[in-house]
Structure 1
Amino acid sequence: MYSPIHFALIGCGNIATEHATQITRVGKLVAVVDTNLHRAKILGDQYGVPFFETASALYAAVQQLDIVVIATPNGLHAVQAIEAMQAGYHVLVEKPIALIGADILQMQTVSKQTGKQIFSVMQNRFNPPVKLIHELLQQRVLGTIHHVQVNCFWHRPASYYINSWHGTMALDGGTLFTQFSHFIDLLCWLFGKVKTAEAAFKNTDHQGLIEFEDQGSIQLKFESGIKASMDYSVNEPIANKEGSITILSSKGMIKAGGSYLNTFEYEVNDTALSAELQKQKATLPNTLGMPNDYGHYKGSMRNHHQVYDSLQTALLYQTPYYTTVEEAKNTIELINLIYQARKLN
C-alpha cells in the first residue's frame, strides 16, 4: 500500500469544485486557500478541511502536503507556483500556466533548484475526437494538408465580467488565454511550432466590460509550411455554439466539432482511409460528453479526471505526465506572438 497523495487547493472559484472532486478521488485534500475567506470556508467545510486566506498561512500550518493545486486568476499563477515550489511542494497549475514566457522560464529555474515538478492542465487533449486526429496525423495517413480551420464561437454574458478579474489585462490577459488557450495548445500539439502569425481583433459586445478583444481572426503559418486560420468570439447571445478544428487535406476533410471538440466528422476520397475512419468513429466513447457547467456559462470538456489520473501515475510511478512545461510554454509564447498585433478595431 502506498501513502495517499496529499493536496492543497489554492483558489476556490468556479473550477475548484472539479479539482476538489478529482483530488478526493485520487488522494487526500488537506486544505483550501482563497483571499475570499467566506468562499474558502464554504469549500473547506464541505470537505472537512482547514481553510486559509493566504498561501503563506497554509505553508506555516500544514503538516503533510505533497502538491499544491493552483486555480486562481491567470496573472497569479506564476508567482504562486514559484512560492509553492520554494516552500517544498510540487504544483499543478490550471491553464494558462502563466501569461508570459519569461515567467515560465523562471518557474522552470525554480523547479530545477528545488527538485519540485510543475504540471499543467490541458484537458482537451483527452477529448476522443482530438486524440483520434492526433493519431491520424502521427500515422501520416491524411495526405498533404492544405489548410486547418479553427472555429470558437462561445457565450460570455456581461455578468461573467462584472466585479470580476475576468476581463482585466493584468489577471485575465485576454480571450485567447482564458477561453481559447486549449485550442492554441492543440494547434501546437498537432502541427508543431508556428513561424508567423497575423491577427485582427475587435471588441463589439463587451465595451466597458473588458480591456481586450471579444472576437478575433488569426492567420498562422507553421514551420512545416501548414497554414491555419482561427476565428473566435465570446459574443454568442445564448450559449456556446461551436468549438472545432477542421483539417482539409488531399484525401478530404476530418473534423473535431460540436461545441467542445466533442464530435467527429469526416469526408474522404480514399476507400481504405474511409473504412478505417468509420471503424475508429464507431469505437469513440461518448463523444457527446459534458462541459464544465458554471451556471450562467459553460467551459471546456470535463476531462480533469484524466488529468489527475496522469498526475497520480507520474507522482507514484514516475511515468511521463501527458504534457510538458515546454509544451505549455510554446502555447503561451504563441498566444503572445498573436497578441503582438493587438489593435482593437
Structure 2
Amino acid sequence: MSGTGRRLGVGIIGLGPAAQPHARALLDLQDQAEVIWAASRTEERARRFAEDFPFPVITDLDEVINDPRIDAVLVLTPPAAHAEVAGRCLAAGKHVLVEKPLELTAARGEQLVTAAREAGRQLGVMLQHRFRPGSLRLRELLRDDALGEVEAAWVTVPWWRPQSYYDEPGRGTMARDGGGVLLTQAVHTVDLFRSLLGVSEVVAAEVRTTGLHDMETEDYVSALLRLGNGAPATLSATTAFPPGRPERIEIMGRRGSASLVGGTLEVRYVDGTGEVLAAEGPTGSGANIMDFPHDAHRAVIADFLAACREDRPPAISGEDALATQRLIELILLRGLDPTA
C-alpha cells in the first residue's frame, strides 16, 4: 500500500442510487484508482449500472472481497448490510469506505470500528458535507476565531420526501435504515454541525411522525442542545416540508455571524465587513434525492485513497462518524424518553 504513485485497486459493493455520485467521482479519479469490480447481488441493478458507467460489473460479492487486485472497497449498501459486508472486506485485508450512516446503531458501528482497528485497515464514512467549500471555509473561520466566542447556533434541515419514497421496500424502517430523518437525511448536517462546534448535552428533544407520511420511523425532530463551549443551540429536522429547502447552519459569535445555507456561506462581522462563498449546486433537499453535484464525494474519496496509501486515518474516519451516530441516538432517546 505504500507509495503515492500507484493507482489503488477499488471495488464497489452496492449499486443503488447512492452509487451514482461515487462512480462519477471515481471516473474523475482514474489517475488514483482503478475500479476492478462493481458488484450488486441483483442482476438488474448491475445491468443498469453498467449502462451508465464503464466499470466491470459482477453479482458475486465473494469475488470482489477475495480479489487480490483490490486494495479498498466502497460499501454502498443499505446500513443494515454494512456490518456484514464491510466486516468481511476488512477481514480480507481491504480498506473500506462506507456510505452514511456508519451502521444501524452506534453499538453495531462500534463493532465495525473495532474490526477495522484489529485488521489494521482504514475505515472511512461518506459524510461529504464536510468537504463542501463553504463548510471548509467555515471550519477555517472557527479555527482562527474569526467569529469570536460562539454565543448560540442553529441547525435546520427542512427537507421533503414524498410518500412514494417511503413506499419503497425498507425505506424509513428500523430494520433497513436504522432510523428516519435524523439518521438517514439530516445525518450529513448534524455531522457537520457537531464536527464544527461540538455538542456537550442534549437538553430536550421532540421526536414524532407527522401526518404527511405513513412510515415506521420519525420524519420530524427538534432539540435543544449545548455546544462544546456550553452555549445554547437548537436543532430542527424534517422530511415533511414540501417542496424542501436547503439545510442551514447558523452561528452567532461575538465578532460576527455565519450562515451556511446548503453550500453557500455568508459571513457578516459587527464592523460591517463580510464575505460570501457561493454554493456549487443543489443539495438533494426535495423529491429528487440525487439532485446534487458529486464534487464533495470526489474530495472525500480522494482523501480516503490518500489515507490508504499513507497509512493514516481518513479525514472522516469510522470513529469520528461514530460520535455523530451516538449524538443522534441520544437526541432520539431524549425525545422518546424525556427522563433519559
State whether TM-score is above 0.5.
yes
- Separation (CA, whole Å) in 2 of partners of 1:292 and 1:5: 30
Verify the 8 A CA contact 1:247 1:253 in the aligned structure 2. yes
**2:250 partner amino acid:** T
Give the corresponding residue for 1:291: 283
Q: 1:222 aligned to 2:227?
A: yes
CA contact (8 A) 1:124 1:300 kept: no
Q: Which of 249, 265, 288 is the aligned partner of 1:245?
A: 249
Name the CA distance, whole Å, in 1 between partners of 2:285 and 2:158: 17
Give how far 1:52 is off: 3.5
Give me the TM-score of the superposition, normalised by structure 2: 0.87
After superposition, residues 129-168 of structure 1 pair within 5 angstroms as 129-168=134-173
Alignment of 1:272-287 (within 5 A): 274-275=272-273, 277-278=274-275, 281=276, 284=277, 286-287=278-279
Confirm or deny that 1:340 pairs with 2:327.
Answer: no
- In the TM superposition, residue 252 of structure 1 has moved relative to its aligned partner by 3.7
Q: Secondary structure of the residue that 1:329 maps to in structure 2?
A: helix
Shift of 1:94: 0.9
Q: 1:16 aligns with which of 10, 16, 19?
A: 19
Normalised by the length of structure 1, the TM-score is 0.86
Could you tell me how far apart the structure 2 residues matched to 1:59 and 1:298 are? 28
Cα distance, 1:311 vs structure 2: 1.8
Secondary structure of 2:247's match?
A: strand
- Go from structure 1 to structure 2 and tell me whether the alpha carbon gap of 1:171 and 1:197 turns closer, same or farther (over 3 Å shift): farther
Q: How far apart are 1:157 and its partner, in Å?
A: 0.9
What is the CA-CA distance between 1:199 and the residue it aligns to?
A: 1.0
What do the CA deviations read for 1:230-270 (whole angstroms, capped 9, x no partner)? 112111223x213110112233422111xx2x22223332x
d(CA) in 1 for partners of 2:196 and 2:212?
32
What do residues 113-162 of structure 1 show as CA deviations (whole Å, max 9, x unaligned)? 22221111111112222222211211123233221111111111112111
Measure, in 2, the Cα distance between the counterparts of 1:233 and 1:69: 28
CA distance in 2 between counterparts of 1:314 and 1:84 reads 17
1:70-85, aligned counterparts within 5 Å? 70-85=75-90
CA contact (8 A) 1:127 1:301 kept: no
Question: Partner of 1:100 in structure 2?
Answer: 105
Provide the secondary structure at the position in 2 that maps to 1:102. helix
Whether contact under 8 Å (1:194, 1:334) holds in the other structure is no
State the alpha-carbon separation in 2 of the partners of residues 145 and 135 from structure 1. Answer: 14
User: Identical aligned pairs, as a percentage?
Assistant: 27
Task: State whether structure 2 residue 189 is matched by structure 1 residue 183.
Answer: yes
Equivalent AA in structure 1 for residue 24 of structure 2: T
Q: Is the 8 A contact 1:74 1:95 kept in 2?
A: yes
Paired position in structure 2 for 1:265: 266
Distance 2:233 2:311 in 1: 36
Match of 1:195 among 186, 201, 207: 201
Provide, for residues 206-253 of structure 1, a one-character-per-residue CA deviation record: whole Å limited to 9, x for no partner.
443x11111121111134202210112111223x21311011223342
* Higher RCO (Cα < 8 Å, 6 or more apart): 2
Moved more, 8-17 or 198-207: 198-207
Q: Alignment RMSD, CA only?
A: 2.5
The number of equivalent residue pairs is 329
1:122–1:144 CA distance, 2 compared to 1 (3 A): same
- Per the TM alignment, residue 91 of structure 1 is displaced from its structure 2 partner at its CA by 0.5
Q: 2:239 aligns with which of 228, 231, 234?
A: 234
| 1:183, distance to aligned residue in structure 2 (A) | 1.3
Specify the alignment match of 1:91 in structure 2. Answer: 96
Contact kept? 2:207, 2:332, Cα under 8 Å: no
- 2:302 corresponds to which of 294, 305, 309: 309
SS in 2 for 1:291: coil
Q: 1:78-126: per-residue Cα shift (whole Å, max 9, x none)?
A: 2221111112211011111123222222222222322221111111112
Question: Residue 291 of structure 1 aligns to which amino acid in structure 2?
Answer: T
Q: Which amino acid aligns with 1:233?
A: T
Q: 1:46 and 1:234, CA in 2 relative to 1: closer, same or farther beyond 3 A? A: closer
State the 1:192 CA deviation.
2.0
Mapped to 2, the partners of 1:309 and 1:247 lie a distance apart of: 29
Which residues of structure 1 form unaligned runs of 5+? none
Structure 2: gaps (5+ residues):
none
Deviation per CA, 1:274-304: give whole Å up to 9, x if none: 44x33xx3xx4x5242435997334666311
For 2:225 and 2:291, how far apart are their aligned partners in 1?
A: 25
Residue 127 of structure 1 is matched in structure 2 by 132
Return closer, same or farther for 1:301/1:21 CA change in 2, 3 Å cut-off. Answer: closer
Partner Cα distance (1:206, 1:53) in 2: 37
Once structures 1 and 2 are overlaid, which stretch shifts more, 46-55 or 189-198? 46-55
Amino acid at match of 1:253: S
Could you report, residue by residue, the CA deviation over 1:166-224 in whole angstroms, capped at 9, with x for unpaired residues?
2111111221111011111112211124223421022224443x111111211111342
Other structure's SS at 2:191 match: helix
